[in-house]
Chains A and B, each alone.
Chain A
Amino acid sequence: MELLLVALVGVLYSAGIYLMFRRSMVKLLLGFIILGNGANILIFLMGELTKGKAPIIDAEETHFVDAYADPVPQALILTAIVISFGLTAFAIVLLNKVYSTTGSDDLDSLNIQDLDI
């Protein structure tokens, strides 16, 4: 499964970057979300996959008695998901505002060219 996830990370990164190269602002944002997902999977992979064993101590125990999934990457990813939502939400609203002002979704239409130094 690890190899499959490794491939998945690559695919997510490729797709994310490809979308960020586009001129459409919505695509840029989608690319950003996909890239973020790729990064999350990457971090998740670093903590050795453990099937079906959540890092939760059994109700009657005080210590782990069995194998458990690595909690540190999970904590990191949780933070990342939440923070990136904050960013995404802001970006979506900003994008909407830009569209309602300029009437365009094209990034290039926002450029002000100061051709003469």
Chain B
Amino acid sequence: MLTLIVLTFALAFITLLMKRFVHSKYVGLITLVPFTLFITFLSYIPKVREGTNVFFKNEWIPSLGISLDLKIDGLSLLFSLLITGIGTLIYLYASSYMRGHVYLHRFFCYLGLFMGAMLGLVLSDNLISLFIFWELTSITSFFLIGFNNENEESRKSALWALSITGLGGFFLLSFGVMMGSITGTYSIQELLGQSEILKNHSAYILLISFLFAAAFTKSAQFPFHFWLPGAMKAPTPVSAYLHSATMVKAGIYLLARFTPVLGGEYEWNTTLQIAGGVTMLYGALHSVFRKDMKSILAYSTVSALGMLVFLLGVGTEKALYAASAFIVVHALYKASLFLITGVVDHSTHTRNINELGGIRHKMPWIAVAGLISALSCAGIPLTFGFIGKELIYEATLHYPLHTIAMILTVTAVVTNVFLTCSGFLVGLKPFFGKLTVRCAEIEKPEAVLWLPPLILAFFSVLFGVLPILADDGFVTALAHAINGKKIDQHLQIWHGVNRALILSGMTIGFGILLYFLFKKFRNPMRLTERFNAISPQNIFTLFVDKFRVFAFIYTRFFQNGYLRVYLMVIVIFVIGLVGYKLFEDVPLHVNTTGLSEFRVYELVVFLIMVVAILFTIRTSSRLTAIAATGVIGYCICLIFVFYGAPDLAMTQFAIDTLTVVLFVFVLFKLPAFLNLSNRAIQFRDAVISIAFGVLISLITLQALVSPADKEISRFYAENAYELAKGKNVVNVILVDFRGFDTLIETIVLSIAAIGVFSLLKYRASDEEISE
């Protein structure tokens, strides 16, 4: 199975190289890739139906517990079937829809990569590999949303989608790592057995918060939903595939996958009910106010995703079963509606439903597909949508707590009324009524354009008439996987006259009323515009803008390009941290025993140095400053002479003289020091510098008190003559014991010399130019 996924990735990259093939008329053959996969997954249905899970072991990094284990159970099989099945239709559709696009080869590459990543995501049994595939789907989604890269809106939407889903990815990784550290395993299969430990763990709230953050961002739950309508900038096949049928359901998949592990607790259920409930109402309400077909579909997708989260939150067996059915119901009708939208857009060059009407005369098959999908969306009997809706109402009505059951049911009914209306707006409005001017001249679409939505619509009817096919095929196994144990329930066309049926009837009735109301509205968006200021998208945008300002100020403050500010920050931190540590941990005391007395001439040298230092700082003459620095050097030279370091004294003397000479030679023509800073700044700098000096003195004092290890010095002293035949120990260390260091030091000096030489040369050539 892993081979198949790897092969999908490989084929995607190969597509990139086969530019000529992709642009030829045989491009439809590329559909064979998802189709082969689809057939492969179909062959697993019998096994999974019996309740056996198929497991593929693949080692990756065993020492870290990371593997590429794959598992096929009811949940992953259904998602795989959706990915490859709808994928097949999308490929077929896109081969015509996208024809002639310059970057068609890239398009199919991204699509292939996405399919591979998505399959990996739903099949992974390891949290870490799940995370990696999860991120891959976000990245491919980014490329596909921004596919029309010359459009600024497109790029912006792609960035939004990536940042929101990427944020979720971060939380998913945190979740995975936490799960791993609590249970000691990343295998989802093994986590199932530790459900009780996790639920009673003190970090349970944190765990589910991370999981929800990941799932809600990916599945566009309020208030993270706005990236999804933005993602509609992608070519329509992409919207149908990624942003309706598969990728956005990854969050649902994640929640469903972990329902048997973490679900069933009060926090889990309540959060999901509220988040899902708000999202489904919000999305449904927004969808009817739109006039752009894709926008309507985007918001109704948000609403449907909310519905799924909501059902997982209700969490009863009936609800999980309803969720299982609704995943399929939604995938079928929504993908179909998207594909229809694509065809309409392609031939009329508009998606505004105000301008569309009567297209059924021009493209009858598309109209049929639209009608069926809209009916399934509305839940008219004999469509799969009807069965799905009945199950949802059954689930909410039978919620154990009566008052909450009422609230849940009302929420579900209101949402469905609006969804029915928006389904009609997209699936009926453009096709019925009078043929508008805009639509008069259009031509019949090709078969590969109308066939895919029709096939999807066909399945909506097939499962609606013969629910046993869906039930026996995958829904039972799916519900089994989500619930963790078998659910004894089956799909039925007719449940008898009960409350659910009455609610269904009411939904359809109100939905149709609403449809006739909103159909007439020319510009209902006006009504919602006043709320734009408080929409999550605006708040997020504002946040991002403010964050940029913050980052700008922050950078200006710390990385402002002034060397002395960097230096000051470092020095202040050293004073603060080291000073704090010194006073906190080290008992400050001065041990004067064993220290030598100082004589008058030493004191004189010290005083000369202090005066020289003051001169260096205070003088306004450059030459005086340089000379004073030279004096400091000579004084140090004297100190070396006093305390038995003749080599140092000689070196210091030579180097100090050289430095002064070089300074004077090179810098003599510079102007006198300008007083560049005012007194306040000078005072501030003096305070910081003196604090730093005092700190260094204190550290030195403490270092003097603690005895130093003389072992190395003794070794050199004893062996200088024995091993190296030298009597000046310092020289022996430099040229013999540490000879290599000295050699490298000479190299450093040579490089400096070359640098000096070339800089001087450079100046000469500059002068030539100016002459």
Q: Report A's interface with B, CB cutoff 8 A.
A: 1-15, 17-24, 26-28, 30, 33-34, 37-38, 40-42, 44-59, 62-64, 68-72, 74-75, 77-79, 81-83, 85-90, 92-97, 99-101, 105-108, 111-113, 117
For A9, list chain B residues within 8 Å (CB): 693, 696-697, 700
Q: Is the CB of B734 within 8 A of A75?
A: yes
- One of B229-237, B377-385, B609-617 at the interface: B609-617
Q: Is the CB of B667 within 8 A of A95?
A: yes
Among A9, A21, A34, A42, residue most surrounded by chain B Cβ atoms (within 10 Å): A21
A2-B595, A51-B644 given; A26·B730 CB < 8 A: no
23 cross-chain CB contacts under 8 A:
A1-B597, A9-B696, A10-B696, A18-B685, A21-B564, A21-B689, A22-B685, A26-B622, A26-B625, A33-B629, A46-B703, A49-B596, A49-B643, A51-B642, A55-B728, A56-B729, A75-B733, A79-B742, A86-B752, A92-B659, A93-B759, A101-B766, A113-B561
**Interface of A (DSSP majority class):** helix
**Chain A CB within 8 A of B738 CB:** yes
In the complex, A45→B730 CA distance in Å? 16
Q: Which residue of chain B has the shortest Cβ distance to A112 in the bound complex?
A: B561
Q: Is the CB of B696 within 8 A of A42?
A: yes
Q: Which residue of chain A has the shortest Cβ distance to B758 in the bound complex?
A: A93
Q: Is the CB of A45 within 8 A of B704?
A: yes
**Chain A CB within 8 A of B562 CB:** yes
In the complex, A106→B697 CA distance in Å? 31
Chain B, residues 677-709, CB within 8 Å of chain A (1/0): the string is 100000001101110111011001101100010
In the complex, A45→B595 CA distance in Å? 11
Q: Is the CB of A72 within 8 A of B671?
A: no
9 nearest interchain CB pairs? A14-B693, A10-B697, A69-B644, A86-B752, A18-B689, A10-B693, A71-B729, A1-B598, A57-B727
**Chain A CB within 8 A of B763 CB:** yes
**Chain A CB within 8 A of B716 CB:** yes
Q: Is the CB of B667 within 8 A of A96?
A: yes
Q: Is the CB of A51 within 8 A of B596?
A: yes
**Least distance between B570 CB and chain A CB atoms (Å):** 10
Please pick, from A2, A44, A59, A106, the residue contacting B674 in the complex, using a CB distance under 8 A: A106
For B430, list chain A residues within 8 Å (CB): none
A90-B756, A113-B561 given; A78·B651 CB < 8 A: yes
Q: Which residue of chain A has the shortest Cβ distance to B599 in the bound complex?
A: A1
Please pick, from A15, A47, A51, the residue contacting B713 in the complex, using a CB distance under 8 A: A47
In the complex, A113→B686 CA distance in Å? 28
Within 8 A of A (CB), among B559-618: 561-564, 567-568, 571, 590, 592, 595-599, 602-603, 606, 609-610, 613, 616-617
Report, as a range, how many residues of chain B touch the other chain: 35 or more
In the complex, A27→B571 CA distance in Å? 18
Q: Is the CB of B652 within 8 A of A81?
A: yes
Q: Is the CB of A105 within 8 A of B671?
A: yes
In the complex, A44→B703 CA distance in Å? 12
For B440, list chain A residues within 8 Å (CB): none
Q: Is the CB of B722 within 8 A of A92?
A: no
A49-B596, A83-B749, A97-B763 given; A38·B717 CB < 8 A: no
A55-B730, A56-B729, A88-B659 given; A14·B692 CB < 8 A: yes
In the complex, A54→B673 CA distance in Å? 42
In the complex, A64→B658 CA distance in Å? 35
- One of B76-84, B307-315, B361-369, B632-640 at the interface: B632-640
Q: Is the CB of A11 within 8 A of B685?
A: no
For B646, list chain A residues within 8 Å (CB): 54, 56
Within 8 A of A (CB), among B190-242: none
For A47, list chain B residues within 8 Å (CB): 708, 713
Please pick, from B645, B658, B734, the residue contacting A44 in the complex, using a CB distance under 8 A: B645
**Least distance between A38 CB and chain B CB atoms (Å):** 7
In the complex, A19→B677 CA distance in Å? 12
For B748, list chain A residues within 8 Å (CB): 83, 86
Q: Is the CB of B616 within 8 A of A30?
A: yes
Within 8 A of A (CB), among B733-767: 733-734, 738, 741-742, 745, 748-749, 751-753, 755-756, 759-760, 762-763, 766
Q: Is the CB of A6 within 8 A of B552?
A: no
Among A41, A71, A74, A92, residue most surrounded by chain B Cβ atoms (within 10 Å): A71
Q: Is the CB of B629 within 8 A of A34?
A: yes
Q: Which residue of chain A has the shortest Cβ distance to B749 in the bound complex?
A: A86
**Least distance between B592 CB and chain A CB atoms (Å):** 8
Q: Which residue of chain A has the shortest Cβ distance to B684 in the bound complex?
A: A21
Q: Is the CB of B564 within 8 A of A22?
A: yes
In the complex, A50→B595 CA distance in Å? 10
For B558, list chain A residues within 8 Å (CB): none
- In the complex, the number of residue pairs spanning A and B with C-beta atoms less than 8 Å apart equals 276
For A111, list chain B residues within 8 Å (CB): 561-562
Among A27, A30, A113, residue most surrounded by chain B Cβ atoms (within 10 Å): A30
A1-B598, A47-B713 given; A11·B610 CB < 8 A: yes
Q: Is the CB of A93 within 8 A of B756?
A: yes
**Chain A CB within 8 A of B718 CB:** yes
For A64, list chain B residues within 8 Å (CB): 717-718
Q: Which residue of chain B has the shortest Cβ distance to A55 in the bound complex?
A: B729
Please pick, from B598, B693, B760, the residue contacting A4 in the complex, using a CB distance under 8 A: B598
Q: Is the CB of A72 within 8 A of B712?
A: yes
**Least distance between B745 CB and chain A CB atoms (Å):** 6
A13-B696, A77-B648 given; A100·B763 CB < 8 A: yes
In the complex, A30→B755 CA distance in Å? 20
**Chain A CB within 8 A of B547 CB:** no
Within 8 A of A (CB), among B508-547: none
In the complex, A86→B138 CA distance in Å? 53
Q: Is the CB of B552 within 8 A of A4?
A: no
**Chain A CB within 8 A of B721 CB:** yes
A93-B759, A96-B666 given; A71·B692 CB < 8 A: no
**Least distance between B719 CB and chain A CB atoms (Å):** 10
For A3, list chain B residues within 8 Å (CB): 590, 592, 595, 598
Q: Is the CB of B562 within 8 A of A107?
A: yes
Q: Is the CB of B632 within 8 A of A37?
A: yes
**Chain A CB within 8 A of B145 CB:** no
**Chain A CB within 8 A of B769 CB:** no
**Least distance between B56 CB and chain A CB atoms (Å):** 48
**Chain A CB within 8 A of B670 CB:** yes
Q: Is the CB of B749 within 8 A of A82?
A: yes
Known: A10-B697, A13-B693. 12 other contacts (CB 8 A): A2-B704, A6-B697, A10-B700, A13-B689, A13-B697, A21-B685, A34-B616, A50-B643, A55-B728, A70-B710, A72-B713, A100-B763
In the complex, A11→B670 CA distance in Å? 28
Please pick, from B590, B613, B639, B721, the residue contacting A11 in the complex, using a CB distance under 8 A: B613
**Least distance between B413 CB and chain A CB atoms (Å):** 50
Q: Is the CB of B674 within 8 A of A82?
A: no
In the complex, A98→B514 CA distance in Å? 76
For A19, list chain B residues within 8 Å (CB): 616-617
For A23, list chain B residues within 8 Å (CB): 564, 676-677
**Least distance between A57 CB and chain B CB atoms (Å):** 4
In the complex, A3→B598 CA distance in Å? 9
**Least distance between A46 CB and chain B CB atoms (Å):** 6
Among B616, B633, B671, B700, residue most surrounded by chain A Cβ atoms (within 10 Å): B700
Please pick, from B659, B722, B741, the residue contacting A79 in the complex, using a CB distance under 8 A: B741
Q: Which residue of chain B has the shortest Cβ distance to A12 in the bound complex?
A: B613
In the complex, A42→B636 CA distance in Å? 12
In the complex, A71→B549 CA distance in Å? 56
For A117, list chain B residues within 8 Å (CB): 548, 552
Q: Is the CB of A18 within 8 A of B700?
A: no
A2-B595, A90-B756 given; A27·B563 CB < 8 A: no
Q: Is the CB of B648 within 8 A of A108?
A: no
A42-B700, A92-B663 given; A50·B644 CB < 8 A: yes
Q: Is the CB of A17 within 8 A of B562?
A: no
